Amino acid sequence: MARKSKAFSVDLEDDYEVFNKRSLKQYSAILFNSTTSLKFTSESQREAILDFVRGGGGLIGIHGASDNFYEWEEGAEMMGGQFNGHPWTAGGTWAFKLDDPTHPLNQAFEGRGFWHQDEIYQYRPSSYVGPENLRILVSLDMSKEIVREPMSLEKFERFNSQYPAGNREVPVSWVRDIGKGRLFYTNFGHREETYQNPVIMRHIFDGILFAIGYKKGDTTPTAELPPVAPALAPAKE
């Protein structure tokens, strides 16, 4: 993306040492790309990340970026939610709706819901900050029976019993303000094929541009908006 667009440059790191106040000053955003079990046990590293984002830096999370910070409550809250199982497994093709069809970060979908094969998480009720804090962009389309079915499977009962019965929303992509900074998170990205899907990749690219401040997008929490008709996925052929 960086090479083709020339909109930004990228440094790739796999070492915790980069997360300090002096190092982060040179960057516009942090991107956690399918990280899992990040800890940041150092208080100085935690403080550096929080200060960076709250002070105006961008934060981008892709897929497993929500499977982190189990011993750092502020870090989990910053991302918006934590992994709580994936009843929608990587082998399935699932229906997705646009909760906000006209939002600039949903332009890639051209106002239409869609089907896509990927692994989709649900989020711990204790850590998910909800539509009161997040602008939900994309979620699972629960109007489709194939999407509702995994919630009733016995092997996922230990997860699903944590949620209230009835109609349940499972968000997939969202944005929010964090102080002066901006978060874009999407759960898409488990399968390699996702990174070959030009529509999903445009969605992620626009999210990156939003997080670094190059693309505007309203972050008013969904719960504070007038009701918006979602764009549901078409019937599966």
Domain of 137: which CATH number? 3.40.50.880
Residue at 229 is within a domain: no
Q: Is the pLDDT of residue 159 over 80?
A: no
Name the amino acid, one letter, at 110. E
Residue at 233 is within a domain: no
Residue at 201 is within a domain: yes
Residue at 234 is within a domain: no
Structural domain of 129 = 21-224
Residue at 187 is within a domain: yes
Question: Per the structure block, which two tokens stand in for 62?
Answer: 């892709």
Domains of the chain: total: 1
pLDDT single digits (tens) 211-237: 999 999 999 999 999 999 999 999 975
Q: Is the pLDDT of residue 153 over 90?
A: no
Residue at 11 is within a domain: no
Residue at 9 is within a domain: no
What is the C-alpha R_g of the chain?
Answer: 17
Residue at 109 is within a domain: yes
Lowest-confidence range among 17-21, 147-151, 177-181, 223-227?
147-151
Cα 201–Cα 207–Cα 212 angle in degrees, nearest 5: 130
pLDDT single digits (tens) 181-199: 999 999 999 999 999 999 9
Residues in a beta bridge with 11: none
Separation CA 37–CA 98 (nearest Å): 29
